[in-house]
Amino acid sequence: MKLLYFAWLRTRTGVGEEEIERPEGVETVQDLVEWLRKRGPEFAEAFANMKVVRAAVNQTYVQLEHPLAEGDEIAFFPPVTGG
C-alpha cells in the first residue's frame, strides 16, 4: 500500500511518500499508526498525539477504526489550514 505524509508529518518523519507491504497484523488505520510508531523516534514523535493528526484512505477522510486493504492509499496530515 501507498503511504503519504503532509505538512509537519512529512517534515518530522522525513518521508513524503512510500510504498510498503501491509505488515502482519495491521488491519486498521489504528494498527498502522501503532506499527509506524515503532519505526523510530521521528515516527513515534510525529504520531504521539492522534488528536492533531487526520487520516484519509483513498482520498476520503476516515476514522482510526477504518479497515485497510491491499492497494490502499493512506495519507496522514495535520488539521487543514487553507483558504
User: How far apart are the C-alpha atoms of 31 and 25, rounded to whole Å?
Assistant: 8
Place of cell 484512505: 57
Residue 25 has which C-alpha cell? 497484523
Check residue 64 for interaction with other proteins (CB under 8 A).
no
Draw the binding track, 15-54, toward other proteins (x: CB under 8 A; -: no contact). Answer: ----------------------------------------
State how far the Cα of 38 lies from the Cα of 73, in Å rounded to an integer: 21
- Candidates 49, 50, 56, 53; CA nearest to 10 is 53
Smallest distance, other proteins to C-beta of residue 3, A: 13
Please, which residue, 35 or 77, has the CB nearer to other proteins? 77
Residues lying near other proteins in the complex (CB under 8 A):
4, 6-8, 11, 56, 59-61, 75, 77-83
